[in-house]
A and B are shown apart, each in its own frame.
Chain A
Amino acid sequence: KQEVTQIPAALSVPEGENLVLNCSFTDSAIYNLQWFRQDPGKGLTSLLLIQSSQREQTSGRLNASLDKSSGRSTLYIAASQPGDSATYLCALNYGGSQGNLIFGKGTKLSVKP
């Protein structure tokens, strides 16, 4: 069974700190992986998409890495800001169809001013 785990479920850090969010998966035969951000009462916003052939993707202060051999992806947030407070979810695509996305339950991040 394909499972996606995000630990911890919640994380609180002071503003300015660099942090890493973790996503682990049991089946490494992925097609691609996406990291999403969800604000309270809102939908999900795609942050980064990593193809299975890639090791990492960067967007501004965000860097996502993928290590299929260890079944792990990380989302690195540099110089965190209160505006980064949200729930971050990873989603794995198994196969060539978008319908096979498996979502983790997310890590709720709180950045304190």
Chain B
Amino acid sequence: DAGVIQSPRHEVTEMGQEVTLRCKPISGHDYLFWYRQTMMRGLELLIYFNNNVPIDDSGMPEDRFSAKMPNASFSTLKIQPSEPRDSAVYFCASSLGIGGPREKLFFGSGTQLSVL
């Protein structure tokens, strides 16, 4: 398996523009997570899905952020409109499920977002 695949690797955009980040989880994994990493705040969970259904989106900063998972092999995180304070590395991760080793998280390589 190729692992968790994220695109793009880098995104540079101007304030006010729409940004869409993409993620393909590992096949067979029932859970998908979106995290954001900054120097100041470390890793923060934004939202996670179980079997394509959003379970907890309490970490989404505000209404400018939205996430979808239309099928088991694809998820998007959208920011509209983007602001400079959204600049961070956004990670997607997936896991098999609940219980013991199934909870091991597999991360993608991340998307480095810079909003100018």
The interface of chain A, by Cβ under 8 A from chain B, is 32, 34, 36, 41-46, 49, 51, 89, 91, 93, 96-99, 101, 103-106
Which residues of B, 98-116, contact A by the 8 Å Cβ criterion? 98, 100-101, 103-110, 112
Q: How far is the CA of A46 from the CA of B109 in the complex (A)?
A: 13
A51: B residues at CB distance < 8 A: 100
Residue B42 at the chain A interface, CB threshold 8 Å: yes
B103: A residues at CB distance < 8 A: 32, 34, 49, 93, 98
- Nearest CB in chain B: distance from A75 CB, A: 16
- 5 cross-chain pairs, A with B, having the tightest CB-CB distances, nearest first: A43-B107, A103-B43, A44-B107, A105-B42, A99-B48
A98 in contact with B33 given A34-B104, A46-B104, A93-B103 (CB within 8 Å) = yes
Residue B75 at the chain A interface, CB threshold 8 Å: no
Q: How far is the CA of A93 from the CA of B100 in the complex (A)?
A: 11
Q: How far is the CA of A19 from the CA of B98 in the complex (A)?
A: 32
Residue B4 at the chain A interface, CB threshold 8 Å: yes
> Which residue of A42, A44, A104 is within 8 Å of B105 (Cβ)?
A44
> Which residue of A41, A43, A93, A98 is within 8 Å of B4 (Cβ)?
A43
> Which residue of B93, B100, B110 is within 8 Å of A42 (Cβ)?
B110
Which partner residue on chain A sits nearest B99 by CB separation?
A96
Query: Once the chains bind, are A43 and B108 in contact (CB under 8 Å)?
Result: yes
Contacts A/B (CB < 8 Å), 12 sampled:
A34-B104, A36-B107, A41-B109, A44-B43, A44-B93, A44-B105, A96-B98, A98-B105, A99-B45, A104-B42, A105-B42, A106-B42
Which partner residue on chain A sits nearest B9 by CB separation?
A41
- Nearest CB in chain B: distance from A49 CB, A: 6
Q: How far is the CA of A89 from the CA of B112 in the complex (A)?
A: 19
